[in-house]
Amino acid sequence: MSTHASTAQPSYLVDTGARKGLMAWLTSTDHKRVGLLYLYSMVSFFFVGAGIGLVMRLVQLTTFQKLISAQTYNALFTLHGVIMIFLFVVPGLPAVFGNFFLPILIGAKDVAFPRLNLASWYFYMAGAILAILALFTGGGAPDTGWTFYAPFSLKTGTNISLAVFAAFILGFSSMLTAINFITTIHRLRAPGMTWFRMPLMSWALYSTAWIQLLATPILAITLVLVILERFFGIGIFDPAKGGDPLLYQHLFWIYSHPAVYIMILPAMGAISEIIPTFARRTIFGYKAIAFSSMSIAGVGSLVWAHHMFTSGLSGLALMTFSLLTMIVAVPSAIKVFNWVSTLYKGSIDFQPPLFFALSFIFLFCIGGLTGVMQGALAINVHIHDTYFIVGHFHYVMFGGTGFAFFAALLYWFPKMFGKMYSKKAIYASWYPMFIGFNMLYFGMLILGMMGMPRRYYVHLPQYHSLHVVATVGSWLLVLGLLIFFGTLLYAIFKGPKAEDNPWGGVTLEWTIPSPPPLENFEEIPIVTHGPYHFEPQEGK
């Protein structure tokens, strides 16, 4: 399909309504503007979270312990988790790229419920503001860790109630987005856009939305129970009143384990878009990737108790959950093999988005394989609650979702803003980011194997040298992030104009102008073939 400049419609970035400037953005129900609202707020919170992470690393240099008390350290890791999980990685790709590109990818003008979409951003911001308020009000900043484990979360004097209420509101935002996406995919696909002609990002968003829909309410009720317990002492998690704190762990992980698939599936979807575009050939195993998303959503909902291997479950339960945990690695591996096979004999055009996508595959493999290690019961007992899990989690969530987020941002940035960034500066940001990342988190994996427990304020002398390596790594990582986002910010204001299709992509978003016009398409396209239909080239 050829690109055709839009003359009839202005770009979505131009205010056309009665309101101008900031108010036009805050009241816009355009899915593209809502996506950008999410992008700006999310990246801001990401830097707050990263800053807290940096401070925590400084504490481990021990010289800074005069400035930060142990109680503050507890609040810092709680806050780091709450911000990064609930405000960055869970909404992450769906809220930004899902909102912006899902309707375009399937050939629609907007999502099914545009006003609900804007409302979900307001819920998100309300939750974020409440979470921040929780720091400064009540009995002080929450100190339970982001998991809010009972019974400590029921007994601590810090401001847990407000913090969990914030998470409850954020969950609401997440569910509304999910309802919107599922309905959009069912109802608004363009003529000819059959299920198996949808780009894989849509499949990933669809699976993610189902997990959000089915898992988030469990978190909501669990958090409600924590609040009720704190205000009224209903006793469901309190052993003195016949309750059971282990029930909290089950309910919490019934949501929070599937939640890690909420975080990673859309990332995988974005990678599945990027790889065919730069390999100039159709994706290998389209259906395998689509169905592996759905099976991750299914099996991933049945593995939650692998977070609780040391909490005294029965042997049968342990083995069942261990087996299921290992099974869930299969669909993830299917995806990785398919991506690599797509590259094979492709005519690879090496560009920054592909570079970050390949980094994603590398880091995600380390994260995934260390995950399988922990699924093994005998190893798990040894490394439970050590830095190993912290390292593993960051490899999956930051090396996985984070790098995929960066890759997706690089891939779609020219389309979203109509500007091109400096590729050299992006490459320059990759080196400190990648090297720093591995120093920091591989250091943590080794520390964990050596026995360094997580969430500790102090450490024994034998761990010190690796802590220094990890802390220096965190400086490099933050330096890389600053260069990365600085480059993009510069490009928004001063970057050269981007072409409509800078990467030679063939999905629908590349057939419309950059930035997209108000209603995306001049007329709704009619789809006649699969999503990655490249013209045959020489040598194939």
Nearest alpha-carbon partner for 145 in 464, 489, 456: 456
Among 233, 453, 496, 504, binds other proteins (CB under 8 A): 233
| Interface size with other proteins, residues (CB under 8 A) | 50
Q: How far apart are CA 56 and CA 64, in angstroms?
A: 10
In the range 9-68, which residues lie near other proteins by CB under 8 A?
16-17, 24, 27-30
Residue closer to other proteins (CB basis): 222 or 272: 222
Nearer to other proteins, 67 or 234 (CB): 234
Closer by beta carbon to other proteins, 232 or else 350: 232
Q: How far is the CB of 37 from other proteins (least distance, A)?
A: 14
Q: What does 11-66 look like in DSSP terms, one character per residue?
A: BTTS--SS--HHHHHHT---HHHHHHHHHHHHHHHHHHHHHHHHHHHHHTTSGGGG
* Length of the chain measured in residues: 540
SS3 label, residue 187: helix
Q: Which residue in the set 13, 26, 54, 109 belongs to the binding site for other proteins (CB under 8 A)?
A: 109
From 247, 294, 479, 524, residue interacting with other proteins (rule: CB under 8 A): 247
What CA–CA distance (Å, rounded) separates 434 from 437? 5
In terms of CB distance, is 216 or 501 closer to other proteins? 216
Q: Which residue lies nearer to other proteins by CB, 214 or 327?
A: 214
User: Considering the rule CB under 8 A, would residue 363 count as an interface residue with other proteins?
Assistant: no
Give the one residue of 39, 218, 297, 366 binding other proteins; rule: CB under 8 A.
218
Single residue of 216, 249, 295, 487 touching other proteins by CB under 8 A: 216
Q: Quick one: tokens of 36?
A: 């950008």
How many whole angstroms separate alpha carbon 211 and alpha carbon 262? Answer: 7
Question: In 3D, which of 133, 46, 132 has the Cα closest to residue 90?
Answer: 46
Tell the smallest beta-carbon distance from residue 170 to other proteins (Å): 14
Residue bearing tokens 């969430």: 455
Residue 29 or 156 with smaller CB distance to other proteins:
29
Contact 121, 99 (CB under 8 A): no
Rounded Cα distance between 468 and 34, Å, is 41
Q: What angle do CA 440, 445, 480 make, to 5 degrees?
A: 20
- Locate 30 and state its tokens: 């355009």
Interaction pattern, residues 170-189, with other proteins; x per rule: CB under 8 A: -----x--xxx-xx--xxx-
Site for other proteins in 252-291 (CB under 8 A): 254
The nearer residue to other proteins, 183 or 422, going by C-beta atoms, is: 183
Closest to other proteins by CB, 92 vs 103, is 103
CB of 375 to other proteins, least distance (A): 24
Least CB distance to other proteins at residue 141 (A):
26
Where does residue 142 rank: exposed (0-12), middle (13-18), buried (19+ CB within 10 A)?
A: buried
Cα–Cα distance for residue pair 509/501, rounded to 1 Å: 9
CA pair distance 498, 35, nearest whole angstrom? 20
DSSP string, 366-382: HHHHHHHHHHSHHHHHH
Structure-block tokens of residue 176: 């509304």
- By C-beta, is 110 or 509 nearer to other proteins? 110
Which of the stretches 60-68, 211-219, 403-411, 499-507 binds other proteins when contact is defined by CB under 8 A?
211-219
Q: Which one of the spans 43-51, 130-138, 245-253, 520-528 is the region binding other proteins (CB under 8 A)? A: 245-253
Task: By CB under 8 A, tell whether 227 contacts other proteins.
Answer: no
**Which CB sits closer to other proteins, 24 or 299?**
24
Interface with other proteins by CB under 8 A: which residues?
A: 16-17, 24, 27-30, 109-110, 112-114, 116, 175, 178-180, 182-183, 186-188, 213-218, 220-222, 224-225, 228, 232-236, 240-244, 247, 250-251, 254, 518-519
